[in-house]
Structure 1
Amino acid sequence: MELILYGSALVLLLISYSKDKEKTKKALSKAWKSFENIMPQFLGIIFIIGLTLAILKPEVISSIIGESSGIFGVLFASVVGAITMMPTFVAFPTADMLLKSGAGYPQVAALVSTLTLVGVVTFALEAKYIGKKAAFYRNFVAFLFSFIAAVIIGNVLGGGR
């Protein structure tokens, strides 16, 4: 699958380059600058998560957010995700690492959905632009959605483990 995506990207890049070399060079330069800005943050978060996973045994992770942790694990993962600020591009590799360390599918689904949709840390900034009431309701509905996502993912993928 990755080969298809990378191959498609390369073909499209070559098409772009053949149509307008300067625009393509400019786009690649902007992409590289974005990559340079994101990389320190990405590496820092991956380092912290890797260190945490190295310290915590899979049994501990499994007991806190494993399949057997049930609704407590989903609630715990939702709260952690809601108060943690993590870029989306880091949330998915984190989810993969947690799953490989014994976390359950519903718990990880709740974590990822709250990580990406709920912003306790950014609430004040959001409220400034859309109002406190709207920011509260948006975050509240997103928090509730994390439970819906956990149930759906648990039913779809949970049985496959």
Structure 2
Amino acid sequence: MTQSIFLYSIIMLLTALSWFKDRQKTKKALMKAKNMLVKLAPELLAILLFVGLSLSIFTPETISSLIGDQSGVVGVFIASFIGSFAMLPSFVVFPLADTLVDNGAGLVQVSAFIATLVSVGFASLPMERKIFGKEFTYMRNLSAVLMAFVFSFVIWVVLPWL
């Protein structure tokens, strides 16, 4: 809460400074920001709804049993599978990952989820295949999945040392 107040205070201070320096540019910037917010609002609301419903359906115990620390390699595969098919914007991934960890997910499993979520696109495979071709699309997605596993393995090995 304190961080939010601090950040909002800085934003208001910098906006006020900008306003006094050049009102026209500041008005233009505020209008652009408002337009971006209006365009993103439906997506943000859908994501909030998705996360809220998911957390109401999947209790912390369920999340912990599926992708918790004790789920091991099976949890990494489950998280990778979900991440490979989910279509979420990148700016939502890290807050969602934090929420998952807070609800019992393991860091190694969440790292696999994040890596596949941002790099693998099975849901958009048909469109990608049309644009880039079959061979490139399949190789790119396969290498992204493999790198997600390598990334998770590295975290699995390094995490106990931290």
Q: Aligned residue for 1:143?
A: 145
TM-score with structure 2 setting the length: 0.81
Are the structure 2 counterparts of residues 147 and 14 from structure 1 closer, same or farther at C-alpha, using a change threshold of 3 Å? farther
Structure 2: tracts of 5 or more residues without a match: none
> Which residue does 1:68 correspond to in 2?
70
Q: Secondary structure of 2:82's partner? A: helix
CA contact (8 A) 1:106 1:158 kept: no
Give the 5 Å matches for 1:5-16.
none
SS at match of 2:105: coil
**1:115 partnered with 2:117:** yes
Q: In the aligned structure 1, how far is the partner of 2:159 from the partner of 2:6?
A: 25
Structure 2 equivalent of residue 59 of structure 1: 61
Listed one character per residue, the Cα deviations across residues 79-113 of structure 1 (whole Å, up to 9, x for unaligned) are 11111111111111110110001000011011111
User: Aligned residue for 2:80?
Assistant: 78
Q: Residue 96 in 1 paired to residue 128 in 2?
A: no
Q: 1:22 to 1:54 in 2, by over 3 A?
A: same
Q: Counterpart of 1:28?
A: 30
Percent identical residues = 41
Against the structure 1 CA distance between its residues 154 and 129, is the aligned structure 2 distance closer, same or farther, given a 3 Å change threshold?
A: same
Q: How far apart are the structure 2 equivalents of 1:132 and 1:23?
A: 47
CA displacement at 1:72 relative to structure 2: 0.8
In the comparison of the two structures, how many residue pairs are matched?
A: 160
Unaligned runs of 5+ in 1: none
Q: Which segment is superposed worse, 138-147 or 9-18?
A: 9-18
**1:36, CA displacement in angstroms?**
1.9
Instruction: Tell me the secondary structure at the aligned position of residue 142 of structure 2.
Output: helix
Which whole-Å CA distance do the structure 1 matches of 2:6 and 2:144 have between them?
A: 33
TM-score by length of 1: 0.81
For the 8 Å contact 1:105–1:158, the answer to whether it is kept is no
**Which sits farther off after the overlay, 18-27 or 43-52?**
18-27
Aligned counterparts of 2:110 and 2:42: Cα–Cα separation in 1: 25
* Partner Cα separation in structure 1 for residue 73 and residue 121 of structure 2: 22
Match of 2:42 in 1: 40
Which structure would you say has the larger Rg?
Answer: 2
CA apart distance, 1:21:
4.8
